[in-house]
Structure 1
Amino acid sequence: MASSLGELTEHVRAFAREREWERFHTPKNLAMALGGEVGELLAELQWLTPEQASAVMSDPELGPRVRAEIGDVTIYLVRLADVLGIDLVEAAVEKLEEAGRRYPVEAARGSARGIPSSHDIG
């Protein structure tokens, strides 16, 4: 079992290689598959109240489904980053540093205005 992001990347890469799926794992195809899996995750949470969503992992039926969808999202994201040569940890740290500059603690603490919208993130 993989215990680090690097080990998971190797495991996913080997999984694809053993099945000779590399030719299908183009950035476009992987991004589309990732989007589909994110949609499936959203579908599991879509009609839940905020309270139900916060407690979803305690639900014996929904919890495992949410966990499985998050697993699928992670696998496709890891594979896409691997194919593109992106270090996921490095990319995330850089993005957090950028967000820290754009949303300093003093201006953003406790305010929804400090939460970036989708057009602010990219």
Structure 2
Amino acid sequence: MPDKTTTVAELRDALRRFVDERDWQQFHTPKNLAMSIAIETAELMEHFQWLSPAAARDLSEADLQNVREELADIFCYALSFANAMGIDVSDAVREKMIKNAVKYPADRVRGKLGV
């Protein structure tokens, strides 16, 4: 399922089927899913704790595979959260990008940190 040929809807449907086949809908409440996103994000952060910026960009194959799995966990929980809340992810991202473009105009913030 490469990015170039997979839609958000296909991923959401695959996750919905996975959850339904296991009767996990009862556990996939917004609170539980939000907490799971935070937990998996912390697990991703652990892989980079104490690394220099250069070392963080030059992970071993094994470490990169672990990072890929943590990122997948985060994304799966985020899409499951969208399913549980009825949020259209594409619309939400597009709307947020418009807000961010207004808040952070490229001509004023380009190359600046902490604006």
> TM-score w.r.t. structure 2 length?
0.92
Cα distance between partner residues in 1 of 2:24 and 2:92? 26
| Correspondence for 2:42 | 39
1:95: how far off? 0.8
Cα distance between partner residues in 2 of 1:5 and 1:54? 27
1:93: how far off? 1.1
1:87: how far off? 1.0
Cα distance between partner residues in 2 of 1:81 and 1:21? 15
Aligned partner letter, 2:52: T
| Correspondence for 1:109 | 110
1:16: how far off? 0.4
Deviations 1:27-54 (A, max 9, x none): 0011111111001000111121101112
Aligned partner letter, 1:99: N
- Give the superposed CA RMSD: 1.2
| Correspondence for 1:95 | 96
Cα distance between partner residues in 1 of 2:114 and 2:19? 42
Cα distance between partner residues in 2 of 1:46 and 1:109? 27
| Correspondence for 2:11 | 8
1:11: how far off? 0.3
**Structure 1 runs (4+) greater than 2 angstroms displaced:** none
- Report the count of equivalent residues: 112
Cα distance between partner residues in 1 of 2:31 and 2:67? 25
Cα distance between partner residues in 2 of 1:70 and 1:31? 15
Deviations 1:29-85 (A, max 9, x none): 1111111100100011112110111223xx122110000000000000000011101
| Correspondence for 1:72 | 73
Q: Does 1:26 align with 2:5?
A: no
Cα distance between partner residues in 1 of 2:82 and 2:70? 18
> TM-score w.r.t. structure 1 length?
0.87
| Correspondence for 1:117 | none
The secondary structure found in structure 1 opposite 2:90 is helix
Which 5+ residue runs of structure 2 have no aligned equivalent? none
| Correspondence for 2:84 | 83
